[in-house]
Each structure stands twice: as C-alpha cells, then as structure tokens.
Structure 1
Amino acid sequence: MLTINNITVRLGGRTILDGASATLPPRGRIGFIGRNGAGKSTLMKVIAKQLEPDSGSIDMPKAARMGYVAQEAPAGSTTPFETVLAADVERAALMIEEETSHPEPHRLAEIHERLIAIDAYTAPARASRILVGLGFDEAAQHRPLDSYSGGWRMRVALAALLFSQPDLLLLDEPSNHLDLEATMWLENFLKSYRATIVVISHERDLLNNVVDNILHLEGGKITLYPGGYDDFERQRAERLSQLASAREAQAAQRAKLQDYIARNSARASTAKQAQSRQKALAKMQPIAEAVTDPSLVFNFPSPPALKPPLVQLDHAAVGYDGKAILEQIDLRLDPDDRLALLGRNGNGKTTLARLLSGQLPAMAGSKHAPGKLRVGYFTQYQVEELDSDDTPLEHMSRLMRGANPSQVRAQLGRFGFSGAMAEQKVGKMSGGEKARLALALITRDAPHLLILDEPTNHLDVDTREALVQALNDYNGAVVVVSHDRHMIEASADRLVLVDAGRAREFAGSLDDYTDSILGRAGGGDGKPKGNKKDDRKAAAAAREATAGLRKAARTAEAEVAKLAARRGEIDRALFDPKTCIVADMGRTASDLMQERGRVESALAAAETAWLEANEKIEAAG
C-alpha cells in the first residue's frame, strides 16, 4: 500500500501540489492523469524520493523495492542486453560472487538457492524477450548504446526497469519514445505485472485496458477514482453536471436574496430581515464554473475542392542517396480519405509520409498529384525548431506574408491563441502549446492533405480528444502516424502497413493488427484480399459514392454542435442573466423561450439528418 499524506510542493514561487492526499490500493494499477503542467511528474518525483516536498510525506512498506526511469538515457559501450541484465542488482552481485570469490561450500549453496529463488538462470531469456517487445531484434540487442539515438536509449532504460521487477513500478509517460507496436507490447506486459504500478499516461487505451484506478490531479489536489479512463470520464461528467446544476440553483438563490434586500432595506419594518439576508449573501461561497480551456481548441480550415485523386502512387520507390527504402508502392489518396500508417519505427513510415508530402521524389515508378495540391506536414522537429524568443503572432506573421493582422490572429484563434496568448514567448509555452502552434502554422493555407507524424506526444488525454474531433470535422484528407491506438481508431478508416520494404493496405482491423503483433491466433496477415487492382477500384468507387453523404453528415454534425451551443447560451440567459452573451442582454424571458423552442426544433431536425446520413453511409459500406 502506498499512502500520499498531505503533500505540498512549491516551485518558483508557484504552488504545484497543495495538500495532495490519497491511499493507493496494494497491487493496484494506477493511471495518473491531469492536464499538462498540473504537477504529475512533480508528484511522481516526490514518490520516487527524487524531490523533497515542502510538507507532507509518502508512506510505503520499508522492504518494498521501487523502480523509476531516470530522465537521462543510459549511454556508453555496453549493449542493451548487458544494461538490462545489470538492472537486477541482486542477481548481478550473486553471479559475480559465485564466479570470482570462490565462496565456502555452505555460502555457495546459499548463492545457488537464492539464484534459483529469484529465477536468475532464466534472466537472459527474459531480458531478451523484453527487448524484443520494445523493438530490439537479436542483432540490435548487442550493439553499443552509443550507436543509438536518445529515444532508443530511453527504450533500454524502460526495458531495464521492467526487467528489475520492482514492487512499486513508477512510469512517467512510458510510450513517448515508443511506436504503436512497442506500445501494444508494453500494454500487454503491464496487464500481467504482479505488483503496484503508477503510470502517468495520456493513452486512452492503456488507461482503459491496464489500470484499475485513476488518480486525477487538478488544482493541486488528487482524487482516486475506481475503474479505467472511461469510468473516470463518466464520473467526472456527472460531477460537472452536478456542479452546473448547483451553480444555477445558487444563482437563483442569490438573485432572490438581492431582490429582497433591494426592496426591503429602506423600510424600518423589514430592515432587520434585509440585514440578515445581506449577511447570508455575503457568506455564500461562489461555486466555481468549469473554465473553458483554450488548449482544447483545434479548428482546421477547410480547403477548396480538388478532384480525386489527391495523390496516386504506381509502383513507386522512395529512399535516400540512391538507395530505396520502400519499393513497389501502389497507393491512392482521395479527398476525405483517412489513412493510418502502421509499422515499427525504422521501417519507413516517415519516408512514405515525406514522399506523399512532396519532400522526397519517387525514385522509380510514378507519383501523380494536382499542381494545386497543398499539404500540411506535422513532425516533432517543427515543434523543436520553433524560435523560443518569438511569439505565436510573430511566427504566424512571418509565414502569412501579405495577410492583414486580423487574418493572422484569426488563424491563431482557431488553435486557442487569442488575445494575450498570441503574444506570449514560445520559450514559456508547454510542449502541448508548442504542438498546437505548429499545427496552426502548417494549416495556415487550408491544406487539402494533412500528414501528422506523432502529433499527440505532448498532448494530454482531453487535448488528444479535441484533436481527434477536429480531424473528423476537417474536410481534407488525413494521413496519420501515431502510437495512440485510440486516435487511429477514431480518425482513420484505412490502414497501410509499412514493413519489409513495402507499403500495402492492411486487410484487417486494428484489433487484428494488435493480435498479429502480440503473436495471438487470428491476427490479420496484412495481405489484401482478392485482386489488388479491383479492390482499389471498388474502394475508390465506394468513397466517391458516399462522398456526398459524408459531407452531409459533417454538415449536420456541425449544425448540431452550433444549435446545442446556442441552446446553452439561451439557458444561461434565462437562469443567470449576468453570465449571458452581449446579444441576449435585455431580452425578455418570453423572447428567449420562443427562440429556445425554435432552436430545439432545428436541433431535432439536424440530429435526424445526421443519423440518416450515417445510416446511409453504413448501408453503403
């Protein structure tokens, strides 16, 4: 059992954690969530005893072994395999003692007994299995660490931690350096881990499939919720609904008290009662309103129409310095296509993305694309290359030459950078804010095709969901590379497997692909069914036949959102006039109720249109 007792941490004059307390169940698998910058990593460091709190304490069994990945990746001439084996300190020490110190017979017997007890002789096989799961084949396990990038060396650090099997496993966004395949393996590994896990993660699937409790950090406080992420979200929605109802009730009570005080303060017969109500009003603590978070704003501008296909690859090859990485690529992208690229890191997903974007030419075969095609291509490098001394406004102004200031600010506003936020220095922004700015920059000219290479690395769960919704509202084509399975499932309807020098349509679902990666029976083999040429023609015809329906569905969905928002504005004007929008100020309740009736009717019609369009799409497909 792990107990967090009233932890307070102040950094740079700001209170990060404010009396945070929770008791975590023994052998619990805890998903630790909260908005970016809320203090999750800070509390994790306090638990790992790497940071001393200003007050409070962490209680856990004295004999419990704790494991936590350090921020610095391992390096040197040792290999990943050697690094992982060395992580079991007790085994390593016993093996050295056995081999070099020539212990007495009774001590030798003790060593052998202990080595058997800790399963030491199967350790090399276990270490190798973990490394394979995280993307290191047999040859890669025996290369020196210095030959790897920082991201791959962080995988070695994760492998070493998992191999050491601590009683308390602390993981801070472990999938950040992993591809989809390694993320799937990690999720499967953690499901069977037989000790306490606390994992900071923004992966919805991991939080639903692995954890049995959610620890939510907000406003410096932590709250433990039973169940996975979907359970937490449902409980949070109920709490916010109750909060809104309580605010409305309080507003009505406040208005009633204010009205009584105004009418009765000047009359001697009722002045005492008015004073009593004035005191009650003064003691009434306002119920906080759920704050609209600008980091949840994504709004991709819609491109003008282009005739299909947007991109056509026929027997194409692509690579670097005259050497092909991928060959014989047959792929067609149409407007409205939603495509996800699957395959381990290093297999060529980014190379294919660069070919589709026009950054790399086809070395063989052919590539056809309209001259007017505009592509928005997002990579982590764009986030890292933002000028820390400039503001979002300065970045956007440089790229939108000739645009007036209102147009520049309008594009920034689509991504939550309005008002003062457009003029803050990039160096003071969080990773998620920088990613949002990079997305704003690459979509400034309303691209017909969006290519997103790991867009969620710095985004929390809520912001990822906002991005998925924005992609679904976007009228152009999307190609996404991501280790976030939920994002792929929610935003892609075609899967392309990049593997063994080829890129081909994956015939199964993402679940089939998961099964094939984890080696379970029934996984899709990744081979297209039937004749490839006929399949492509049939798929193109189906997309063209349903294009109008998909557009109608998006239009209806946008109308539903707009009308629902208007209904909410009217309700606020009716229940709490002080919070209403300017357009509703001074309007009578009768006028508002009449408009609400019209909005309700229009909303019902829009919902019906949305349902009918989606039913027709499903029937056609």
Structure 2
Amino acid sequence: MITLRNLTLRRGTKIVLDDATVTLQPGERIGLVGANGAGKSSLFALLAGRLQADRGDAEMPPTWRLSEVAQHLPETEQGATDFVLDGDLTLLKAREQLAAAEAAHDGLKMAEAHAALQDAGSFDARPRAQSLLLGLGFKVDQLDAPVNSFSGGWRMRLQLARTLINPAELMLLDEPTNHLDLDALVWLEGWLSRYPGTLLVISHDREFLDAITRVTLHLEHAKLTRWGGNYTTFETLRAQAQVLQQASFEKQQDRIKHLQHFIDRFKAKASKAKQAQSRVKALERMEKLAPVLAAADFAFEFREPANLPNPMLALSDLACGYGDTAIVRKIDRTVLAGQRIGILGANGQGKSTVVKTIARTMPPLSGSITEGKGLTIGYFAQQELDVLRPEEGPLAHMVRLAKEVSPQAREQELRDFLGQFRFTGDMVSQEVGSLSGGEKARLVLAMLVWQRPNLLLLDEPTNHLDLQTREALSIALNEFEGTVMLVSHDRALLREVCDEFWLVADGALKPFDGDLDDYQRWLNERAREEAKALRAAAAPAPSADDAPAASQREDRKAAAQARAKLADQTRPLRKEIEAIDKKLVQLGQEREGLEAELATGALDPGAIANCGRRLKVIADETDALELRWLELSEQIEAATAAAGL
C-alpha cells in the first residue's frame, strides 16, 4: 500500500501539502482532484521520487514498479510499434540482459535472460503493443510509421500507449484524455477498468472520472482528504459535509454568544461569580469550529452581443483543407442566431480545419462563406499559443486587443477586468510563455469576453481547465445570447451546452440526428456499415445472359475482400491468441512437472515451499492469460459479426 504520514511538501515558498496523512490500498483506482495550481502534479512528482518531502513520511512497497506518461513530445524516426514496446521496461531490461550475456558468451546468464524474456511476455509483446495502438485510434497502416511522421496530438497518444504497456503496480496518469477523441476515450475507460494495479489519475473530465475511479483524493488549501466513491459521489458527500460543518459552526457560535452574554452580565455580581467563572472555563475549553470557507468559485459571463445577425453564416459548397488537399468538401449549412452546435468526429477527420476556416485563420479552398452583417467571431484555438504571444504578459495582450476593439479602455479598467479571471498583481505582467496551461486558457477566455462576440468558435476549450472553470464555462455558454459552435471531447460540456450536433466524417459535414449516446452507438456500427458497403460495391454491369454468374462472382469477390480486410484488422489479435496458447501449454507442462515432484514425497520443506510458491504464480498467470484469451476471442467475434462473415 501507499502511505503518507504527517507529510509536508513545499515548492519554493509555497506549501502544497500540509501535514497530509492518507493510505491507498493496492488495486484502488483513485481520482486526484483540485484546482489548477493546488499541487496535484507535485504529489505525482513525490510518488515518482522526483521530489522529497520536507517533513513526514511517504512509504511505498520497494518492489513496486511505476509507470507514468512522459510529457515531452518524442522526436525519433523509430516505428510506432517499436516506440511503444520500448515503454515496457521489464521487457527492455530482459532484452538488455540477453544482449549482455550473448556478448560475454555466458551460457548460464543467457538461459536466465531467456527465462526473464519469457516472464516479461516477449512472446506476445508486439501484438499487445499494436492492440493498444489500434484502441487509441491508430490505423493498421500506421502501426510501423515513424514517430516523427505524426502530429503532436498523435505523439502524445504514443506516449500514452507506451505507458499502458509497461507492467507496473502503480500507474500515474496526468490528464490522459487531453489528446483523445470520444471513441479513443471510451476505449481507454474500458482498458483502465481492467487494469489490475493501483491507478492514480488527474483529470478534469467528470464523466471519465466517474467511469474509472472508486476513490477521490481532494487537494485544497494544501490539505489532502480521502473520500470514498467517484467524482459525483465525492461532490455529493462533500456538499453534505459542508452543510453539516456550517450548521455545527453556527450552532457553536450561538452557544459562544450565550456563554459570553452570561459572563458579561454576571461576572461582577458576587452571587453569580462562581457560575460566570465556570462558563469562562467552558468557553476556553471549547474546541472552536471553523466556518466553511468555500473557495471563491470562478465565474464569468459573456457580454451581451451588440447585435445578433440572423443568419450568422451561410456556407455554400465550401471545401476546407491545406494547400491543394481538401479534407472536408461540399459543406452547405446555415448557422442561425442562438444555435448551440456540437461538432463531432474522430481526430484527423477535419473538425478543427472547418472551425479554422470559419474563423478566417485558414482560407477556404473553394465555395463561399457569407457572413451576416455585424458578425463578430470569438475564436478559441485548440493550441492557445496560436493566438497568444509567449513573450508578452496578459495586460499587454489586453491593451493590444482593446486598441482594436474599444480604444477608450483605460489600463486600470483592463487590470480590473483581468482580475475577474484570476490575473492579479504581478501576474498581469508575467510572460505568457511561463503561465500554466489553465492560466493560458483563462487568458484566451478573457480576450473572448472582451470582444463581445456574437458567434463563439471553441476548439477544445477545456483541455487545461480545472473542473470549477469548466463548470463556469458551461454556465457562461448557456447564458450566452449568441451562437456557439463547439469542438470538445468533454462529454459533460457537450451534453450541457449543445442541443444539436454536426458530424465530420468521410470528407463531409452533415447534421447528426441523435445525442452523444447515439454517437457512440454510431461508432460501434461504423465497421458493419463499411463491410456492407464493400460487399455492395459493384463492378461493370453484366449482360442479361451471364448476370447470375457475374453476380455470384462479384459476391465471392466482395466476400474475399471482406475476409482479407477482417484478417488484416484482426492479425494482431490472432497473433496474441497464438502466443497465449503456446504460453498456456508451457505453463501446463511446468505445473505437471512440479506436481509430479511434490507427489514423490522426497522434497525437503524448503523445496516444497518453493514448489508451492511457483504453482501459485503459475495459477495466477494462467488465470490472467485465459481471461485475456477470452477478451481477444470476443473482439475477433465482434469484428467478424460486424463484417457480416
């Protein structure tokens, strides 16, 4: 287990953990929540050994392995699968052990290294890595593509896969969903729900936390508190505790007031002096309860637009893309005043490209965008630095913006405005490049509010926002009188804000008839639809005489193509099943040999104990392999059914 005992941790002059005491049991799935800057990442650094406590103890089993996502973008020509495999530190160590033994021509060490490789699962390592990549949204033809050929978001997915493949008793995940679309996010939820080790995750995605966590650690004002249950349960229990605490505080204040009134009234009277003195002592002994000092929740609102053109936009035969390459074509849509539109689609389908084109940061490749008179666009870029200058401070950004939007604004007015977004004192002059992701996001929000837009284009606005700020954004968007077009993987925000959805897929943008649950079902049905389309693909029309034979040939051809595609998709799964079968045979033979040794009765007590321990390991490993075999078989059966074979 992990135990923090009376632990204090400082970062510079700031105390981020004050006398923290908490115990985490093996196998627990814990959500670590708190405002941005509260110290959550510092706690991760402490558990990972990068920071040392200033006081108190932090204990963890010394044999535990740890896995966490590296935050830097990898720069390498290495293939994607090999890059992920290098994240399996146990396997990597066994391979290095074998290479050293072979270089030294040491037969005994080579045998030990081969045993270590077998224990590390080298027999199915590559299929396991490719299964992770496919789950995170990579295509079959990308499995061996160079890491440098992927964009930043996809490289972070590679880092996540590299973390998931590492067999570890403790996994630390810091905002793992930031670069995932909805289908990959749901896959990750399923994978983590089966992870057998201890999981500690920082996330500001409410639905993600509810799906995978069963314990919540809340970090606030340097105090770490453990709560049972997922995030929604934590919110409920904490609200109830705050109500009780406030009621107890108010009741105690009434009691103190009554005692003090008695003391003040009778302390000078001889006949009541004894009673007054006893009340003084009672007042001194009373353990003072603190009032509920609820942190000032962040709140803001969008200013009322100067006008609301209707329609806002008319998109006619619009094509969006880069250079001469169109990613989304033939868009014919009208955007009306007051609409709340969520834009769905997998990464790489063109959601951000459409938004950038409407925001005027990319020119349309063809077609037209007709803007309503008086249209004012507020654009939140997925990468905040697209609209921020790293070397300037928040105040400099606002001064420059004010000159464009409202030249009469005074500096003090801008300082006061920034204070509403938690930029106070010297922070208004701090270089944006040194701000946290959440602070940059709040600055972009401040700049949007100042512009008084009537159309908001928001591309992943929640990536670096804490839960309180996300809630404030949701409330502000619901109160906003203009039009909202939102791209986000935050399902809670999409559910709360959007009343209709557009889907970007297969080079087209179309209305999506349904909600987010329907969208998830649509994703599950997509493979089946593609298989049906493949079988329906027609060759040149046959003559009337040979129509039946030609039809049969085309049916056989379509079926063969579907089988080939299915074989390609399931190859990593089948390879892993084949490797598991071989491993199960080896384990069965080893178990029979150990049982035969025990049956002889000739072993000493130490050898019997060793046999017993090894049999327990074999039984556990067999159970895990059989469970994995069933999971893989179910995945292959599902893929086969989807292909209609």
Contact kept? 1:299, 1:415, Cα under 8 Å:
no
Counterpart AA for 1:27: G
SS at match of 1:296: coil
In the alignment, the residues of structure 2 paired with residue 522 and residue 486 of structure 1 have an alpha-carbon distance, to the nearest angstrom, of 28
In the alignment, the residues of structure 1 paired with residue 179 and residue 527 of structure 2 have an alpha-carbon distance, to the nearest angstrom, of 28
In the alignment, the residues of structure 2 paired with residue 288 and residue 420 of structure 1 have an alpha-carbon distance, to the nearest angstrom, of 29
Choose 366-375 or 382-391, whichever is displaced more: 382-391
Residues 539-593 of structure 1 deviation map (CA, whole Å, 9 limit, x = unaligned): xxxxxxxxxxxxxxxxxxxxxxxxxxxxxxxxxxxxxxxxxxxxxxxxxxxxxxx
Structure 2 counterparts to residues 180-219 of structure 1, below 5 A: 180-219=182-221
Rg comparison, structure with higher value:
2
* Aligned residue in 2 for 1:78: 78
Counterpart AA for 1:464: R
SS at match of 1:346: coil
The alignment yields a C-alpha RMSD, in angstroms, of 3.4
The reply to whether residue 257 of structure 1 matches residue 259 of structure 2 is: yes
SS at match of 2:178: helix
* Aligned residue in 2 for 1:545: none
* Aligned residue in 2 for 1:101: 102
* Aligned residue in 2 for 1:163: 165
In the alignment, the residues of structure 2 paired with residue 111 and residue 431 of structure 1 have an alpha-carbon distance, to the nearest angstrom, of 44
Contact kept? 1:377, 1:450, Cα under 8 Å:
yes
Residues 143-174 of structure 1 deviation map (CA, whole Å, 9 limit, x = unaligned): 33344454433322221110112121111221
Choose 406-415 or 509-518, whichever is displaced more: 406-415
Offset of residue 374 of structure 1: 1.0
* Aligned residue in 2 for 1:227: 229
* Aligned residue in 1 for 2:53: 53
In the alignment, the residues of structure 1 paired with residue 270 and residue 425 of structure 2 have an alpha-carbon distance, to the nearest angstrom, of 50
Structure 2 counterparts to residues 234-383 of structure 1, below 5 A: 234-271=236-273, 273-274=275-276, 276-278=278-280, 280-281=282-283, 286-291=288-293, 293-294=295-296, 296-382=298-384
Choose 386-395 or 300-309, whichever is displaced more: 386-395
In the alignment, the residues of structure 2 paired with residue 520 and residue 23 of structure 1 have an alpha-carbon distance, to the nearest angstrom, of 44
* Aligned residue in 2 for 1:396: 398
Offset of residue 273 of structure 1: 4.3
In the alignment, the residues of structure 1 paired with residue 342 and residue 436 of structure 2 have an alpha-carbon distance, to the nearest angstrom, of 27
Offset of residue 180 of structure 1: 3.4
In the alignment, the residues of structure 1 paired with residue 216 and residue 524 of structure 2 have an alpha-carbon distance, to the nearest angstrom, of 26
Offset of residue 404 of structure 1: 5.0
In the alignment, the residues of structure 1 paired with residue 140 and residue 479 of structure 2 have an alpha-carbon distance, to the nearest angstrom, of 44
Offset of residue 197 of structure 1: 1.0
Structure 2 counterparts to residues 554-573 of structure 1, below 5 A: none
Counterpart AA for 1:42: S
SS at match of 1:177: coil
Structure 2 counterparts to residues 562-601 of structure 1, below 5 A: none
SS at match of 1:301: coil
Choose 514-523 or 390-399, whichever is displaced more: 514-523
In the alignment, the residues of structure 2 paired with residue 502 and residue 411 of structure 1 have an alpha-carbon distance, to the nearest angstrom, of 41
* Aligned residue in 1 for 2:20: 20
Choose 333-342 or 398-407, whichever is displaced more: 398-407
Contact kept? 2:309, 2:375, Cα under 8 Å:
no
In the alignment, the residues of structure 1 paired with residue 389 and residue 287 of structure 2 have an alpha-carbon distance, to the nearest angstrom, of 44
In the alignment, the residues of structure 2 paired with residue 370 and residue 300 of structure 1 have an alpha-carbon distance, to the nearest angstrom, of 20
Percent identity, please: 40
Contact kept? 1:31, 1:215, Cα under 8 Å:
yes
- Identify unmatched segments of 5+ residues in structure 1: 528-621
In the alignment, the residues of structure 2 paired with residue 106 and residue 49 of structure 1 have an alpha-carbon distance, to the nearest angstrom, of 34
- Structure 1 pair 403/191, CA: closer, same or farther in 2 (3 Å)? same
Choose 503-512 or 402-411, whichever is displaced more: 402-411
Offset of residue 34 of structure 1: 1.6
Counterpart AA for 1:479: M
SS at match of 1:174: coil
Offset of residue 210 of structure 1: 0.8
Counterpart AA for 2:513: A
SS at match of 1:443: helix
- Structure 1 pair 282/379, CA: closer, same or farther in 2 (3 Å)? farther
- Structure 1 pair 466/128, CA: closer, same or farther in 2 (3 Å)? same
* Aligned residue in 1 for 2:518: 512
Structure 2 counterparts to residues 142-161 of structure 1, below 5 A: 142-161=144-163
Offset of residue 13 of structure 1: 2.1
SS at match of 2:337: coil
* Aligned residue in 2 for 1:475: 481
Counterpart AA for 2:511: E
- Identify unmatched segments of 5+ residues in structure 2: 534-645
In the alignment, the residues of structure 2 paired with residue 34 and residue 130 of structure 1 have an alpha-carbon distance, to the nearest angstrom, of 30
Offset of residue 426 of structure 1: 5.8
Contact kept? 2:415, 2:428, Cα under 8 Å:
no
In the alignment, the residues of structure 2 paired with residue 73 and residue 307 of structure 1 have an alpha-carbon distance, to the nearest angstrom, of 43
- Structure 1 pair 261/97, CA: closer, same or farther in 2 (3 Å)? closer
* Aligned residue in 2 for 1:440: 446
Contact kept? 1:343, 1:349, Cα under 8 Å:
yes
Contact kept? 2:297, 2:468, Cα under 8 Å:
no
Contact kept? 1:391, 1:426, Cα under 8 Å:
yes
Counterpart AA for 2:181: D
Offset of residue 523 of structure 1: 10
SS at match of 2:173: strand
Contact kept? 1:181, 1:343, Cα under 8 Å:
no
Residues 366-391 of structure 1 deviation map (CA, whole Å, 9 limit, x = unaligned): 32221201111112544576567766
- Structure 1 pair 366/277, CA: closer, same or farther in 2 (3 Å)? same
Q: TM-score, normalised by structure 1?
A: 0.76
Offset of residue 319 of structure 1: 2.4
SS at match of 2:45: helix
Q: How many residues align?
A: 525
In the alignment, the residues of structure 2 paired with residue 200 and residue 323 of structure 1 have an alpha-carbon distance, to the nearest angstrom, of 38
- Structure 1 pair 522/490, CA: closer, same or farther in 2 (3 Å)? farther
Counterpart AA for 2:356: R
Residues 37-78 of structure 1 deviation map (CA, whole Å, 9 limit, x = unaligned): 121111111111222212333333333222122333433232
Counterpart AA for 1:509: D
Of the candidates 155, 174, 195, which is equivalent to residue 172 of structure 1?
174
SS at match of 2:51: coil
* Aligned residue in 2 for 1:463: 469
* Aligned residue in 2 for 1:31: 31
